[in-house]
Amino acid sequence: MDIDLEVKLAVYGYFVETSARPASDEVARRLGVSVGTVRDAFARLRAQRLLFLEEDGEIRMAPPFSGIPTQHVVDVGGRSYFANCAWDALGIPAALRKEAAVLSRCEQSGVPLRLAVGLEGPEPSDWLFHCAVPAARWWDDLVFT
């Protein structure tokens, strides 16, 4: 297995287990490699748009998981995860292939959203998803998107 794949699986495994982002030194410890090796892999995974990094090179997002608290919380089997956006809020149960409750809000009114998501998708709902940024520009400023 190449190092980029090992790092990617270690990062996602850490998010799934802990709900938190792993620091590069934690990934290095788990894999038995140097921090520099992990940092280089982070940069390549960023280039593949599989990770989004902070300015210091540590992980901000491993989509659909967010490394920092957001308004989109996904409860799965007693563990809560933060999602990067509304899309990723449904992406977490899709990735985990588990039932979940998505807790968020209407961005205009603040009305809370609680959406049950089963293995086959969300319960019937007339809520809407809106993205202000066209698809071609999503990664220009991923935090804003």
135: contact with another protein by CB under 8 A: yes
How large is the angle between the packed helices 24-31 and 35-47, nearest 10 degrees? 110
Gap between the Cα atoms of 69 and 134, Å rounded: 25
The answer to whether residues 122 and 90 touch, using CB atoms and an 8 Å cutoff, is: yes
122 interacts with another protein by CB under 8 A:
yes
Phi-psi region of 19 (alpha: psi -120 to 50; beta: other; left: phi over 0): left
Any idea of the CA torsion for 71, 74, 16, 69, to the nearest 10 degrees?
A: 10
Region of 97 (left: φ > 0; alpha: ψ -120 to 50; beta: rest) is left
> Is 67 among the residues that bind another protein (CB under 8 A)?
no
Q: Does 132 bind another protein (CB under 8 A)?
A: yes
Q: How near is the Cβ of 18 to another protein at its closest, in Å?
A: 14
The 23-62 site mask, x for binding another protein (CB under 8 A), equals: -------------------------xxx------------
Stretch that binds another protein, among 24-32, 36-44, 51-59, 131-139 (CB under 8 A): 131-139
Contacts to another protein by CB under 8 A: 1, 5, 9, 12-13, 16, 48-50, 63-64, 84-97, 104-109, 111, 113, 115, 117, 121-122, 124-132, 134-137, 145
